[in-house]
Structure 1
């Protein structure tokens, strides 16, 4: 009996030691591998299932391409050969799931995170990364709130929604001469924030928001909303949301006889919107929180590499997630370490010439001189409308 008690005590001590060892390894930013290498894990968080999966897979592929190239360079970090590894997680574009993903990344000991895709998922997850001291670089998050939280580990390499809303509103009122404008949003952090910024800028530019309506990011029937809007006879309908809703919305505008110009932001500037909207999407307008692809200094080469590796067309943010990953790795290279405590200070000093253009950060972590471009859908293709529509320091956005 006494022997049995001692055996239980010994087993308990062994189990406790194993738990402590597991906890220690979870906190480490990298793990030793065979042959004197270290494995540096980079988290890639995106919706890989559901209506935004085409965006998520595109973004995840951008991270994977950057990691493949970094591994081919044979970098040495912390005195050892570094092998980078992508840890991909599906956050379903859901804030609750995103926080679970963030905790799994922390437990897995990732050295840095690229993502998440949507503002609604990113903002709650960013607190977990901040508490753990893990750097994150966002490639598609446009809500101004992301970098207004006071965290020192959050960076963004794309313009924000305040800049997009202002550029779109100015174009709608000045270039399209739209005076009466209806605004719809999907009640997400991204969609509502963008619509608010757009509506505010419309009023400031002398236009009038004649109707404000709301839907969800899972809706498919917009007939009641559009019928209500039709009575106001707007010149333009603006939608703050994603392509999965915008495509059917445009088709239903035609059904109810709502003859107004349709406009959205980067959420609809995709090949998926073209497919979903069909002929009814012709002449729609959209923005991108970044330079047009043909004006990105490294796009041609990147596009070729991307198609060769994945056999797919770029949807939207792959060039940005690629650059975000390279920015993380560049900071590690300059610090000579994948330890977040050592390389995080280097992120603030970033001066990186990326596929998407030059990347430097302001004091809040926003990209300096964020660019916004405008597009119109013509014959099934998004065509640039003149030069980039706005170029301003993101720190000036409210």
Structure 2
């Protein structure tokens, strides 16, 4: 009898430590263009999220007394709305607690309907105002909107560059058209003379016909609504035809990728990016250095925002004590106050980032720096 009791006690002791130490694995989803023309941005976002997951796992993150291990389910939406909807459904059907992205407005708008119908919180940087005007309660934009970025560039053109005449080109994507429209709206409001408006597409590589037409209008600045993959060749061709206008844009062109595509002619480019200048803080400088030492490339645009987004999801889990309840995560994010690498995060009733800071950048010595 005594031996039996001893055996029960030993068995009980061997079971308890295993139960206490068992990890819970939580998946954070990510939707972004990991291949194609916007792959640079998509991989940049993914890299930022991966650094956050590394940090969370390194510090033994706990939720309700249980150790949590994070993993990132990063899906390639190719920057294509149809693929993006398929990716959204795949992530909804998975066990992902919340979603980082999408990156592109053209993907985010249709994909958001899939996520919303399933009650899954998404943290996109897609900037078209239409995204957060749909009435959904699960979108939390972790970057500035087109209204903030496009408006800031119009104000910069007039007040800093002292431009009087501007031209506008956009690539007809939801992002490009959206930010160009916001630039136009503010430009007209503050008295800039819009001398021309032209259109291209997100696959174009030859802009000389458009640029030759614009050159005859003699604009002081050309605002391009689109991405670096087109802005780089466009800038190069502006120099080839001796067009002396400054090239302006939003966060879509605000990366070292533009300089890599344009070569040594990247002076005279100005772009708006959501968030404070990262190199102004010690934590920001450390992140820039860590990013480069980890991936052996320069950070582009939104890696710190995606890092912050992953941390926001983790904070929501810890505060609500859940690793599975998507509704509780969504409800917590609606009222969150959080200071991250890229700035302070809190959201209005539509899911827009309140008081989203905007920084104007330019290129000096082939480096993207705050102007």
Q: Does 1:307 align with 2:289?
A: no
Are 1:111 and 1:134, in contact at CA under 8 Å, matched by a contact in 2?
Answer: yes
CA contact (8 A) 1:137 1:328 kept: no
1:211 aligned onto 2:203: no
User: Take 1:146 and 1:204, find their aligned partners in 2: how far apart are those partners?
Assistant: 24
Residue in structure 2 matching 1:290, options 264, 269, 275:
275
1:376 and 1:312 mapped to 2: Cα distance? 19
- Find the aligned partners of 2:23 and 2:277 in 1 and give their Cα distance: 40
| 1:73-106 deviation per Cα after TM superposition (whole angstroms, max 9, x unaligned) | 3233366432211001111111111000001111
Residue number in structure 1 paired with 2:302 = 317
Q: 1:66 aligns with which of 52, 55, 62?
A: 52
Q: Deviations over 1:156-202 (max 9, x none)?
A: 12211101111111111222121111100000111101001101111
State the partner residue of 1:201.
Answer: 186
In the other structure, the counterpart of 1:383 is 369
Inter-CA distance 342–229: structure 2 relative to 1 (3 Å threshold): same
Which moved further from structure 2: 226-235 or 79-88?
Answer: 79-88
Q: How does 1:118-197 map to 2 (within 5 A)?
A: 118-138=104-124, 140-197=125-182
Task: State which of 341, 356, 368 in structure 2 corresponds to 1:355.
Answer: 341
**Runs of 4+ off more than 3 Å:** 33-36, 76-80
2:175–2:225: 8 Å Cα contact kept in structure 1? yes
Count of residues in correspondence between the two structures: 352
Q: Which residue of 2 aligns with 1:252?
A: 237
CA contact (8 A) 1:43 1:87 kept: yes
Instruction: Specify which of 65, 83, 98 is matched with residue 97 of structure 1.
Output: 83
Question: Equivalences for 1:8-157 in 2 at 5 Å?
Answer: 36-77=22-63, 80-138=66-124, 140-157=125-142
Conserved 8 A contact 1:76-1:336: no
- Structure-2 separation of matches of 1:224 and 1:254: 14
Deviations 1:46-79 (A, max 9, x none): 1111111111111101111111211223233366
What is the CA–CA distance in structure 2 between the aligned matches of 1:261 and 1:311, rounded to whole Å? 31
Unaligned runs of 5+ in 2: 1-18
Whole-angstrom distance in 1 between the partners of 2:370 and 2:65: 47
How far does residue 253 in structure 1 lie from its aligned partner after superposition? 1.3
Match of 2:220 in 1: 235
Q: Which runs of 5+ in 1 are unaligned?
A: 1-32, 386-398
Change in Cα spacing, 1:304 to 1:380, as seen in structure 2 (3 Å) is closer
